[in-house]
């Protein structure tokens, strides 16, 4: 290989590098402000879309369970006006779920205040009741329901009906 051919190769590389640089220099560039605005839009558009779809469509339809809910040994409203340290211990407070339908429910899930829940593997036969101690209810993060600190505002019951669909019942207190 002679000296002339090696210089022509290096000249060709220089021309290619120069053409790449000129393409890069001529390409449109985003300013920092526009770049941040686009990032914010990319993050917000899906969240806003999901929110509006939820508002327009509403919650998914679920069948209604024929049920009744009874709270037993739960303190009255004035109890929660006391400072926590002055509130007496509550033992054996429980919620009773009564299946008023003519069919049994399986996969029963009882939820208190949309936060604490208990899942029951045993089917709940028709026209029967089941009692759940309130200290059995646990939040998804592992916190146990403390009736001294948490006033029960609503109880929801979810269960699978014989048709295979899911039914719900909700009661506010």
Please check the confidence at residue 160 and state whether its pLDDT lies above 70: yes
* Average of per-residue pLDDT across 132-145: 93
Residue 95, beta-bridge partner list: 71, 132
Please check the confidence at residue 74 and state whether its pLDDT lies above 70: yes
CB–CB of 118/138 below 8 Å?
Answer: yes
Please check the confidence at residue 4 and state whether its pLDDT lies above 70: no
For residue 36, the 8-state DSSP code is H
Please check the confidence at residue 99 and state whether its pLDDT lies above 60: yes
**Strands 67-72 and 63-64, sheet pairing:** unpaired
Residue 56 to residue 139: CA distance in whole angstroms: 29
* Average of per-residue pLDDT across 50-56: 88
Please check the confidence at residue 131 and state whether its pLDDT lies above 80: yes
Quick one: pLDDT at residue 60? 64
Sign of CA dihedral 121, 127, 131, 132: positive
The confidence band for 89, taking pLDDT boundaries of 50, 70 and 90, is: confident
Quick one: pLDDT at residue 107? 94
Q: Comparing 85 with 28, which gets the higher pLDDT? A: 85
Q: Comparing 126 with 30, which gets the higher pLDDT? A: 126
pTM more than 0.85? no
* Of the listed ranges 5-9, 129-133, 140-144, 157-161, the one predicted with least confidence: 5-9
Q: How far does Cα 165 stand from its chain's mean position?
A: 21
Express as a percent the part of the chain with pLDDT over 90.
Answer: 58
Retrieve residue 31's tokens.
């300013």
Sign of CA dihedral 11, 13, 16, 22: negative
Please check the confidence at residue 41 and state whether its pLDDT lies above 80: yes
The confidence band for 9, taking pLDDT boundaries of 50, 70 and 90, is: low
């Amino acid at each position: 290989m002679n000296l002339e051919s090696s210089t022509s190769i290096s000249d060709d590389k220089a021309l290619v590098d120069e053409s790449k640089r000129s393409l890069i220099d001529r390409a449109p560039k985003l300013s920092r402000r526009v770049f941040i605005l686009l990032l914010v839009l990319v993050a917000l558009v899906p969240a806003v879309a999901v929110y509006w779809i939820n508002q327009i469509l509403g919650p998914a339809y679920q069948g209604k369970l024929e049920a009744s809910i009874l709270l037993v040994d739960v303190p009255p409203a004035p109890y929660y006006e006391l400072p926590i340290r002055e509130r007496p211990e509550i033992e054996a407070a429980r919620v009773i779920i009564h299946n008023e339908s003519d069919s049994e429910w399986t996969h029963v899930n009882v939820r208190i205040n949309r936060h604490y829940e208990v899942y029951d593997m045993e089917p709940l036969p028709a026209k029967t009741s089941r009692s759940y101690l309130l200290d059995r209810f646990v939040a998804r993060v592992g916190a146990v329901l403390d009736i001294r600190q948490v006033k029960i505002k609503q109880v929801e019951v979810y269960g699978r009906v014989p048709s295979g669909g899911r039914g719900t019942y909700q009661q506010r207190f």
